[in-house]
Amino acid sequence: MQATGKNSGLVLALVSAFAFGGSGVAAKPLIEAGIDPLHMVWLRVGGAALVLSPLAWRHRGLLRRKPLLLAGFGIVAVAGVQAFYFASLSRIPVGVALLLEYLGPALLLGWIRFVQRKPVTRAAAAGAAVAVVGLACVVEIWSGLSLDALGVLLGLCAACCQAFYFIFADQGADGDDAPDPIGVIAYGMIVGALVMTVIARPWEIDWHVLTGRALMGSTEVPALLLLAWVVLIATVFAYLTGVVSVRSLSPQVAGVVACLEAVVATVFAWVLLGEHLSTPQVVGGALVLGGAFIAQSSRSAPAAAEGSDPAALDRAPTTA
């Protein structure tokens, strides 16, 4: 049963990475058609909040039980990641901003080890290191070595927010009063939409763009279809599967697997938008995959130890 749970969590983490990774491919044609990037974020979060609002009402008891968790998830894990990433994007190259954001899993390991004072497996740490090196290749960081200091700082803030996404997702997962992940995500989207309304000023959106068509590669696609993909698949479905995967695995393992989002985004851009995929990017993608595999293997040892003899269990803490 534990092996099945672990494998299910890994599958959900991979599905979430694919769903998140497809957001840029669907959003870029809309941005190129005339939608401001911050307006695109507001449409994404606001649309998800609208879709999930019936579920928020169903889980309204969370407002009384976990108000700080809901506020933190919405402000930090939803609005914070998006706002800081796009702010950094305006000052430094896209690839560097993406790499900085996905330093989140490495920062998460530091939080677990030095703030929460919990052990971090060598496999998770090694997997995170390999994944970061792979990400540097995927985004070709050497193409933007002249960096703006404020842009770097904003990118690191996005990474911190991403790390706290995994912490919030795992909050209270093992207790009897564990909040339902659907309710947490629903209220997180509502809070995030309210915060992004102040930042993005959606009343300035060029709405007629959404009634037309946008160019994806060489194919014209209805703008509303692309928006529906961003809202339903790349946001609602991605967050749902992501939060559940964190609870099935662990924040440190799910965080490293999430690095695959950047690889998925790059591959989707290559296939659907015709963007060139260089040899270093292919090598980097393989490194990220390897890092994710190393990290998820850290869950196997404890599970195996539970089926061993008592003497082996007595030796397990010393070995670890």
- pLDDT, tens digit (0-9, with 9 covering 90-100), for 209-228: 999 999 887 789 999 999 99
CA–CA distance, 230 with 232 (Å, rounded to integer): 6
Q: How confident is the model at residue 37 (pLDDT cuts 50, 70, 90)?
A: confident
CA–CA distance, 277 with 3 (Å, rounded to integer): 36
Mean pLDDT of 35-42: 89
| pLDDT of 71 over the 50 cut | yes
| pLDDT of 245 over the 80 cut | yes
Tell me the one-letter amino acid at 14.
L
Question: Mean pLDDT of all residues in the chain?
Answer: 79
Tell me the one-letter amino acid at 308.
S
| pLDDT of 63 over the 60 cut | yes
- Which residues are CB-neighbours of 21 under 8 A, at least 6 positions away? 260, 261, 262, 263, 264, 265, 267, 268
Q: Where are the domains of the chain?
A: 2-173+180-300
